[in-house]
Amino acid sequence: MLDLHTHILPGVDDGPSTMEESVEMARLAYEDGTRTIVATPHNRDVTERSSLSDVRDLADRFIQELHAQSIPLRVLLGMENHLEMDTAEQVDNGLATPIEGTHYILIELPFEFYPFYGEEVLFKLQIMGLHPIVVHPERNLAIQDNAEILAKLVQKGALAQLTASSITGIFGKESQRSSKELLQKNLVHIIASDCHTAWGTRKPLLSSGTAAAAKIVGKEVAIHMVESIPEAILQDRKPELDELLKVSGRRWWSLRR
Protein backbone atom coordinates (compact mmCIF):
# COMPACT_ATOMS: atom_id res chain seq x y z
CA MET A 1 0.00 0.00 0.00
CA LEU A 2 0.98 3.64 -0.48
CA ASP A 3 0.01 6.30 2.04
CA LEU A 4 -0.15 9.81 0.53
CA HIS A 5 -1.10 11.77 3.65
CA THR A 6 0.83 11.47 6.93
CA HIS A 7 2.18 13.62 9.72
CA ILE A 8 5.18 11.46 10.50
CA LEU A 9 8.09 13.89 10.70
CA PRO A 10 9.00 14.85 14.28
CA GLY A 11 8.65 18.33 15.73
CA VAL A 12 7.18 20.00 12.66
CA ASP A 13 3.45 20.20 13.33
CA ASP A 14 0.92 18.36 15.51
CA GLY A 15 2.47 15.01 14.63
CA PRO A 16 5.13 13.17 16.67
CA SER A 17 7.49 15.17 18.82
CA THR A 18 10.49 12.82 18.71
CA MET A 19 12.41 10.89 16.07
CA GLU A 20 11.84 7.74 18.13
CA GLU A 21 8.07 8.05 17.75
CA SER A 22 8.42 8.78 14.03
CA VAL A 23 10.42 5.60 13.60
CA GLU A 24 7.84 3.61 15.56
CA MET A 25 5.12 5.02 13.28
CA ALA A 26 7.13 3.88 10.27
CA ARG A 27 7.48 0.42 11.80
CA LEU A 28 3.73 0.17 12.40
CA ALA A 29 2.97 1.33 8.86
CA TYR A 30 5.33 -1.23 7.36
CA GLU A 31 3.94 -4.05 9.49
CA ASP A 32 0.44 -3.05 8.34
CA GLY A 33 1.43 -3.43 4.70
CA THR A 34 2.43 0.10 3.68
CA ARG A 35 5.54 0.29 1.54
CA THR A 36 5.61 3.96 0.55
CA ILE A 37 4.67 6.90 2.72
CA VAL A 38 4.50 10.62 1.95
CA ALA A 39 5.36 12.92 4.84
CA THR A 40 2.94 15.85 4.56
CA PRO A 41 3.31 18.39 7.39
CA HIS A 42 0.89 21.31 7.46
CA ASN A 43 2.30 24.04 5.25
CA ARG A 44 1.29 26.68 7.81
CA ASP A 45 3.43 25.01 10.47
CA VAL A 46 6.38 24.70 8.13
CA THR A 47 6.09 28.39 7.28
CA GLU A 48 5.65 29.61 10.84
CA ARG A 49 7.93 27.24 12.75
CA SER A 50 10.52 26.03 10.27
CA SER A 51 11.34 26.21 6.56
CA LEU A 52 11.03 23.93 3.58
CA SER A 53 14.80 23.50 3.55
CA ASP A 54 14.83 22.45 7.20
CA VAL A 55 11.98 19.99 6.63
CA ARG A 56 13.83 18.44 3.69
CA ASP A 57 16.89 17.98 5.91
CA LEU A 58 14.66 16.45 8.60
CA ALA A 59 13.14 14.05 6.08
CA ASP A 60 16.63 12.98 5.01
CA ARG A 61 17.59 12.31 8.64
CA PHE A 62 14.39 10.32 9.11
CA ILE A 63 15.16 8.20 6.05
CA GLN A 64 18.67 7.57 7.34
CA GLU A 65 17.27 6.47 10.70
CA LEU A 66 14.90 4.05 9.00
CA HIS A 67 17.80 2.56 7.07
CA ALA A 68 19.79 2.23 10.29
CA GLN A 69 16.91 0.34 11.89
CA SER A 70 16.27 -1.85 8.82
CA ILE A 71 12.79 -0.52 8.12
CA PRO A 72 12.53 -0.61 4.30
CA LEU A 73 9.84 2.07 4.02
CA ARG A 74 10.10 4.48 1.10
CA VAL A 75 9.58 8.07 2.25
CA LEU A 76 8.71 11.05 0.05
CA LEU A 77 7.97 14.64 1.01
CA GLY A 78 4.93 16.80 0.42
CA MET A 79 2.69 19.15 2.39
CA GLU A 80 -0.90 19.31 3.53
CA ASN A 81 -1.76 22.75 2.19
CA HIS A 82 -4.57 24.80 3.71
CA LEU A 83 -7.13 26.12 1.25
CA GLU A 84 -6.77 29.89 1.46
CA MET A 85 -7.46 32.74 -0.93
CA ASP A 86 -3.76 33.02 -1.76
CA THR A 87 -2.86 29.30 -1.94
CA ALA A 88 -1.79 29.64 -5.58
CA GLU A 89 0.50 32.53 -4.64
CA GLN A 90 1.89 30.45 -1.78
CA VAL A 91 2.81 27.77 -4.31
CA ASP A 92 4.62 30.37 -6.39
CA ASN A 93 6.55 31.46 -3.29
CA GLY A 94 7.39 27.94 -2.16
CA LEU A 95 5.16 28.20 0.91
CA ALA A 96 2.80 25.48 -0.34
CA THR A 97 4.11 22.51 -2.27
CA PRO A 98 2.89 19.47 -4.22
CA ILE A 99 3.90 15.90 -3.48
CA GLU A 100 7.56 15.38 -4.24
CA GLY A 101 8.30 14.88 -7.93
CA THR A 102 4.67 15.32 -9.00
CA HIS A 103 2.06 17.89 -9.98
CA TYR A 104 -0.40 16.58 -7.37
CA ILE A 105 -1.06 18.82 -4.37
CA LEU A 106 -2.91 18.00 -1.14
CA ILE A 107 -5.50 20.61 -0.21
CA GLU A 108 -7.15 20.78 3.23
CA LEU A 109 -10.56 22.43 3.54
CA PRO A 110 -11.62 24.19 6.75
CA PHE A 111 -13.52 21.76 8.97
CA GLU A 112 -16.38 24.13 9.88
CA PHE A 113 -17.44 25.44 6.47
CA TYR A 114 -16.76 25.40 2.73
CA PRO A 115 -15.17 28.74 1.70
CA PHE A 116 -16.79 30.79 -1.04
CA TYR A 117 -13.45 31.02 -2.85
CA GLY A 118 -12.87 27.25 -2.92
CA GLU A 119 -13.58 26.53 -6.58
CA GLU A 120 -11.71 29.62 -7.74
CA VAL A 121 -8.55 28.70 -5.83
CA LEU A 122 -8.61 25.10 -7.05
CA PHE A 123 -9.09 26.37 -10.61
CA LYS A 124 -6.04 28.64 -10.21
CA LEU A 125 -3.99 25.66 -9.10
CA GLN A 126 -5.16 23.70 -12.14
CA ILE A 127 -4.22 26.60 -14.43
CA MET A 128 -0.73 26.31 -12.92
CA GLY A 129 -0.63 22.68 -14.02
CA LEU A 130 -1.34 21.20 -10.59
CA HIS A 131 -3.87 18.50 -9.71
CA PRO A 132 -5.64 19.17 -6.39
CA ILE A 133 -6.37 16.32 -4.02
CA VAL A 134 -9.01 17.34 -1.46
CA VAL A 135 -8.11 15.61 1.79
CA HIS A 136 -10.61 14.23 4.33
CA PRO A 137 -13.71 15.91 2.82
CA GLU A 138 -15.82 13.64 5.05
CA ARG A 139 -14.78 15.77 8.03
CA ASN A 140 -15.97 19.04 6.48
CA LEU A 141 -19.34 20.03 7.98
CA ALA A 142 -20.68 21.52 4.74
CA ILE A 143 -19.86 18.39 2.72
CA GLN A 144 -21.37 16.22 5.44
CA ASP A 145 -24.61 18.09 4.79
CA ASN A 146 -24.29 18.33 1.02
CA ALA A 147 -22.14 15.91 -0.99
CA GLU A 148 -22.73 17.95 -4.16
CA ILE A 149 -20.07 20.40 -2.94
CA LEU A 150 -17.45 17.71 -3.39
CA ALA A 151 -19.15 16.37 -6.52
CA LYS A 152 -18.67 19.73 -8.25
CA LEU A 153 -14.97 19.73 -7.37
CA VAL A 154 -14.52 16.16 -8.62
CA GLN A 155 -16.43 16.95 -11.80
CA LYS A 156 -13.96 19.79 -12.41
CA GLY A 157 -10.94 17.53 -12.03
CA ALA A 158 -10.11 17.35 -8.33
CA LEU A 159 -9.43 14.05 -6.61
CA ALA A 160 -10.65 13.22 -3.10
CA GLN A 161 -8.96 11.34 -0.25
CA LEU A 162 -10.75 9.75 2.68
CA THR A 163 -9.05 9.11 6.01
CA ALA A 164 -9.00 5.42 6.87
CA SER A 165 -10.06 6.08 10.48
CA SER A 166 -13.12 7.99 9.30
CA ILE A 167 -14.37 4.94 7.42
CA THR A 168 -14.01 2.75 10.53
CA GLY A 169 -15.77 5.30 12.76
CA ILE A 170 -12.85 6.48 14.88
CA PHE A 171 -13.63 10.12 14.02
CA GLY A 172 -17.27 9.73 14.99
CA LYS A 173 -20.58 8.77 13.45
CA GLU A 174 -20.96 11.79 11.16
CA SER A 175 -17.55 11.36 9.54
CA GLN A 176 -18.25 7.65 9.16
CA ARG A 177 -21.69 8.30 7.64
CA SER A 178 -20.24 10.88 5.26
CA SER A 179 -17.44 8.49 4.29
CA LYS A 180 -19.98 5.84 3.38
CA GLU A 181 -22.06 8.32 1.36
CA LEU A 182 -19.06 9.64 -0.57
CA LEU A 183 -17.88 6.11 -1.29
CA GLN A 184 -21.34 5.04 -2.45
CA LYS A 185 -21.53 8.05 -4.75
CA ASN A 186 -18.07 7.31 -6.18
CA LEU A 187 -16.62 10.62 -5.05
CA VAL A 188 -13.53 9.07 -3.45
CA HIS A 189 -10.29 8.09 -5.17
CA ILE A 190 -7.73 7.59 -2.40
CA ILE A 191 -7.61 6.29 1.16
CA ALA A 192 -4.79 7.57 3.41
CA SER A 193 -4.03 7.35 7.11
CA ASP A 194 -3.53 11.05 7.99
CA CYS A 195 -1.58 9.58 10.91
CA HIS A 196 -0.22 11.75 13.71
CA THR A 197 1.02 9.37 16.40
CA ALA A 198 2.24 5.85 17.10
CA TRP A 199 -0.40 5.38 19.80
CA GLY A 200 -4.11 5.96 20.28
CA THR A 201 -6.52 6.67 17.45
CA ARG A 202 -4.24 8.27 14.84
CA LYS A 203 -1.84 5.48 13.97
CA PRO A 204 -0.39 5.01 10.45
CA LEU A 205 -2.71 2.13 9.58
CA LEU A 206 -4.49 1.64 6.27
CA SER A 207 -5.62 -1.99 6.29
CA SER A 208 -8.65 -1.63 8.57
CA GLY A 209 -9.97 1.41 6.66
CA THR A 210 -9.42 -0.37 3.36
CA ALA A 211 -11.34 -3.40 4.63
CA ALA A 212 -14.19 -1.16 5.78
CA ALA A 213 -14.28 0.56 2.37
CA ALA A 214 -14.33 -2.84 0.66
CA LYS A 215 -17.64 -3.62 2.33
CA ILE A 216 -19.10 -0.53 0.62
CA VAL A 217 -17.47 -0.44 -2.82
CA GLY A 218 -16.00 -3.92 -3.15
CA LYS A 219 -12.51 -5.23 -2.47
CA GLU A 220 -11.12 -4.46 -5.93
CA VAL A 221 -12.02 -0.76 -5.82
CA ALA A 222 -10.85 -0.36 -2.23
CA ILE A 223 -7.47 -1.93 -3.01
CA HIS A 224 -7.01 0.40 -5.98
CA MET A 225 -7.51 3.36 -3.60
CA VAL A 226 -4.41 2.38 -1.63
CA GLU A 227 -2.36 0.84 -4.44
CA SER A 228 -2.71 1.64 -8.14
CA ILE A 229 -4.25 5.11 -7.82
CA PRO A 230 -1.68 6.50 -5.33
CA GLU A 231 1.06 4.74 -7.32
CA ALA A 232 -0.01 6.58 -10.47
CA ILE A 233 -0.01 9.85 -8.54
CA LEU A 234 3.53 9.28 -7.25
CA GLN A 235 4.59 8.51 -10.82
CA ASP A 236 2.94 11.79 -11.86
CA ARG A 237 0.52 9.94 -14.13
CA LYS A 238 -3.23 10.31 -14.51
CA PRO A 239 -4.94 7.48 -12.63
CA GLU A 240 -7.13 5.26 -14.82
CA LEU A 241 -10.28 6.03 -12.86
CA ASP A 242 -12.85 5.36 -15.58
CA GLU A 243 -11.28 2.02 -16.41
CA LEU A 244 -11.30 1.08 -12.74
CA LEU A 245 -15.01 1.73 -12.39
CA LYS A 246 -15.77 -0.01 -15.67
CA VAL A 247 -14.07 -3.16 -14.40
CA SER A 248 -15.89 -2.95 -11.07
CA GLY A 249 -19.27 -2.21 -12.66
CA ARG A 250 -19.66 1.15 -10.94
CA ARG A 251 -20.25 4.62 -12.34
CA TRP A 252 -19.21 8.10 -11.29
CA TRP A 253 -22.03 9.93 -9.57
CA SER A 254 -23.38 12.80 -11.64
CA LEU A 255 -24.70 16.07 -10.25
CA ARG A 256 -28.40 16.55 -9.92
CA ARG A 257 -29.74 18.95 -12.52
| CA–CA dist 79, 95 (Å, integer) | 9
Residue 244 has pLDDT above 90, yes or no: no
pLDDT tens digit sequence for 159-177:
999 999 999 999 999 999 9
| Sign of the CA dihedral running 27, 82, 191, 1 | negative
**pLDDT at residue 240, as a whole number:** 84
Question: What's 252's DSSP letter?
Answer: P
Q: How far apart are CA 35 and CA 232, in angstroms?
A: 15
- DSSP lists the bridge partners of residue 191 as 162
By the 10 Å C-beta count (0-12 exposed, 13-18 middle, 19+ buried), 195 is classed as buried
Decide: pTM greater than 0.75. yes
Q: What pLDDT sits at residue 105?
A: 98
Predicted confidence (pLDDT) per residue in 22-36, tens digit? 999 999 999 999 999
Asked if 192 and 159 touch (Cβ cutoff 8 Å), the reply is no
Phi, psi of 6 (to 5 degrees): -145, 155
**Any idea where the domains of the chain sit in the sequence?**
2-246
CA atoms in the 13 A half-sphere facing the CB of 178:
28
C-alpha distances in Å from residue 163, one per residue of 3, 55, 88, 150: 10, 24, 25, 15
pLDDT tens per residue, range 44-68: 999 999 899 999 999 999 999 999 9
CATH code that applies to domain 2-246: 3.20.20.140
